[in-house]
């Protein structure tokens, strides 16, 4: 590969990002590996993702692949991060397209984007919201990408609650302190009552999406789009969003 480009990056070269032709080739190969792995993921699922098969398809030998990913789980981790980012970006794009609309509209736009992405990439969705890989615990690197959708939902609710306070159901005393800590962590400017139901709605959204993607609605819910829309509108209502 690469032979074409006019290389000789020069002594100095760009001081910034890629230090030379080798570095560029490295990220190119790394990306090719991830692409091929994603292809196999989409076909056979994560469990059958085989390093050897990826290498074979790329015309290299399996051991060469370990120069780029120290283990199969590390490849999976890379795919997980990419999946979180892909989902997050999809959601953000969908949100920005209706950024000027009312909070309910923005909320449903995000939820429907999540659902659409999940249906379009079921195996990648399974990777990030399905059963976690057995031995493996997600490195801290995955945290920011994983938070993107949640932060979006928080932002929508925050905008809606700015100024006019919405009627909020009181918290049970046993949840009081936890809700306050939670609110201080994720949305200091929102009342704890709202944050508690918002986090719940966040999880419930993925319950709806997961049931559809994983086939739990088979032979039960048939016309799923209006069903989802209705459920998501009720979630919006439950966190205090109103039209307008």
Residues 6+ apart with CB under 8 A from 60: none
Single out the residue of 98, 86, 179, 159 nearest to residue 127, CA to CA.
Answer: 86
Which C-beta is closer to a copy of itself: that of 26 or that of 158? 158
Identify the residue among 14, 43, 62, 141 touching DNA (CB under 7 A): 62
> What is the contact surface with a copy of itself in residues (CB under 8 A)?
44-48, 126-127, 129-135, 138, 143, 169, 171-172, 174-175, 177-179, 181-182, 185-186, 196-197, 199-200, 203-208, 210-211, 214-217, 219-223, 226-227, 229-231, 233-234, 238
Q: What share of the chain is helix, strand, coil (3-state, %, to 5)?
A: 65, 0, 35
CB of 35 to a copy of itself, least distance (A): 20
Buried b (16+ CB within 10 A) or exposed e, 118-133: beebbbbbbbbbbeeb
Is 214 in a helix, a strand, or coil?
coil
CB of 203 to a copy of itself, least distance (A): 4
Q: Which of 51-59, 140-148, 153-161, 215-223 is the region at the interface with DNA (rule: CB under 7 A)?
A: 51-59
Which of a copy of itself, DNA, none has residue 158 at its interface (CB below 5 to 8 Å by kind)?
none
CB of 155 to a copy of itself, least distance (A): 16
Two tokens, residue 181: 């800590």
- The dihedral through the CA atoms of 60, 61, 67, 72 has a sign that is positive
Tokens 């760009």 locate to: 14
Q: Which of 70-78, 79-87, 145-153, 217-225 is the region at the interface with DNA (rule: CB under 7 A)?
A: 70-78
Q: Which residues bind DNA (CB under 7 A)?
A: 7, 9, 11, 19-22, 25-26, 29, 49-53, 59-64, 66-68, 70-73
């Amino acid at each position: 590969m690469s032979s074409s480009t006019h290389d000789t990056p020069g002594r100095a070269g760009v001081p910034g990002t890629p230090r030379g032709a080798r570095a560029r080739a490295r990220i190119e190969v790394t990306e090719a590996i991830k692409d091929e792995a994603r292809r196999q993921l989409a076909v056979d699922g994560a469990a059958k993702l085989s390093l050897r098969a990826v290498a074979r398809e790329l015309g290299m030998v399996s051991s060469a692949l370990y120069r780029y990913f120290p283990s199969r789980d590390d490849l999976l981790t890379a795919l997980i991060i990419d999946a979180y980012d892909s989902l997050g970006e999809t959601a953000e794009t969908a949100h920005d397209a209706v950024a000027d609309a009312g909070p309910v509209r923005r909320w449903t736009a995000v939820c429907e984007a999540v659902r659409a992405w999940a249906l379009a990439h079921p195996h990648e969705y399974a990777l990030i919201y399905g059963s976690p890989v057995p031995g493996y615990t997600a490195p801290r690197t995955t945290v920011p990408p994983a938070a993107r959708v949640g932060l979006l939902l928080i932002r929508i609710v925050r905008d809606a609650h700015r100024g006019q306070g919405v009627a909020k159901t009181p918290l049970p005393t046993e949840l009081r302190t936890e809700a306050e800590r939670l609110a201080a962590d994720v949305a200091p400017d929102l009342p704890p009552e709202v944050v508690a139901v918002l986090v719940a709605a966040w999880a419930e959204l993925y319950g709806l999406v997961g049931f559809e993607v994983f086939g739990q609605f088979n032979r039960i819910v048939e016309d799923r789009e209006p069903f989802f829309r209705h459920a998501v509108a009720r979630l919006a209502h439950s966190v205090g969003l109103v039209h307008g």
